[in-house]
Amino acid sequence: MVTLLPFHSPSADQADEARMSSQTMPSSEKFISIEGIARRYPAPGGKSNTVFENLWLPMRRGEFVCMIGHSGCGKTTVLNILAGLEAPSEGVVIVDGQAIDGTSLDRAVIFQGHALLPWRTVLGNVAYAVSSRWRKAAKPEVTARAQDAIATVGLAGSEHKRPSELSGGMKQRVGIARALAIEPKILLMDEPFSALDALTRGTLQDEVRRICVETGQTVFMITHDVDEAIYLADRIVLMTNGPQAKVAEIVENPLPKSRDRTQLHHAPGYYALRNHLMDFLVSRSKTLRDAMPAGYDPRHPPVIRPSLTEVEGAAPAADTAPARRA
């Protein structure tokens, strides 16, 4: 029983120790820092509904972070706040040393529904972003940059098609090209592949992974696909159910940076990691919302750092884990 649960759940004393050693990210490493943000909506009777509050999350430069949680936990709101499309009710987001205020060309968004402008061609959609980024650029330069971005996502030759002539996967590629073309500091993706069939999703995940690894792009992505998170993310943020969602824990992905999709499920620790995430979505996302473990500090949510050897060695998991499983 215990061997199935390779991960420590930080009990109070372990958590303290871990926090001392590794859970706090040094401020010099924080490229993005979400600091105590909350989102409340007014409710009838002068009250307010809190989607989440006191949410803290640091991100390093060049890191790929996935956020997982059920619908209604405020994932999209977090992303919209990062994008500047929504303002937090409380708290701030600091990017590269500056508190954000509204949208910015430094933070590109890949929308769930691709959000291409149907009256523009593929080239026109990407060039629109390029000419917004470099207002004074001459037309040939805009076209050249746009074509570069289109080639990066493998759509060279389709520049003059309109979105309606493209398949769902190709549309989302254009969305990715549009976001990459403005050379953002951060790429924000809101379930970008959820509307695609499994095969297309796989290819696009490969593309995104390749591009992000090559360019060292910092990415924040929302998904509810556990396999997608394992394949793409360096760290996976687990949100409890809403309302009043919290960051339950941050799982550091133990898989090596060079990942092969075909071999991924043979990697030691893959299934343990996957089961851990699935367990979270199936049951713990709800139980943890109702009662967080003692010693939970929203400023420093527990960081789970499974090691592959530990998985293989099946080190006994900590105290509370079996109870949870039962």
Partner 1 sequence: MAASLSLRAGLVSLALLLAFLLTWQIAVGGTAKTEAMDPEYAALMGASATTGKSAMPGPLDVGATLWKHLKDPFYDRGPNDKGLGIQLAYSVGRVALGYGLAVLVAIPIGFLIGMSPLMNRALDPFIQLLKPVSPLAWMPLALYTIKDSGLSAIFVIFICSLWPMLINTAFGVAGTRREWLNVARTLEVGPFRRAVTVILPAAAPTILTGMRISIGIAWLVIVAAEMLVGGTGIGYFVWNEWNNLSITNVITSILVIGLVGMILDQLLARAQRLVTFPE
Residue with smaller CB distance to partner 1, 164 or 262: 164
The residues in 167-186 that bind partner 1, with binding defined as CB under 8 A, are: 182
Nearest to 25 by CA among 54, 52, 61: 61
Residue with smaller CB distance to partner 1, 99 or 117: 117
Minimum distance from CB of 132 to partner 1 (Å)? 4
Minimum distance from CB of 129 to partner 1 (Å)? 6
Cα gap 208→82, rounded to integer Å? 20
The residues in 40-99 that bind partner 1, with binding defined as CB under 8 A, are: 83-85
**What does the DSSP assignment read for 17-80?**
HHIIIIISPPGGGEEEEEEEEEEEEE-TTS-EEEEEEEEEEEEETT-EEEEE--TTSSHHHHHH
H or E stretch covering 326:
none
**Residue 111 lies near partner 1 (rule: CB under 8 A):** yes
Cα gap 135→289, rounded to integer Å? 47
Residues 218, 75 contacting (CB under 8 angstroms): no
Minimum distance from CB of 69 to partner 1 (Å)? 22
Cα gap 218→231, rounded to integer Å? 16
Candidate list 28, 119, 138, 294; residue touching partner 1; CB under 8 A: 119
Nearest to 77 by CA among 226, 245, 232: 245
Site string for partner 1, 246-285 (x = CB under 8 A): ----------------------------------------
Residue with smaller CB distance to partner 1, 22 or 103: 103
Cα gap 279→271, rounded to integer Å? 12
Minimum distance from CB of 95 to partner 1 (Å)? 14
Binding site for partner 1 (CB under 8 A): 83-85, 103-105, 107-109, 111, 113, 115, 117-119, 128-129, 132-133, 162-164, 182
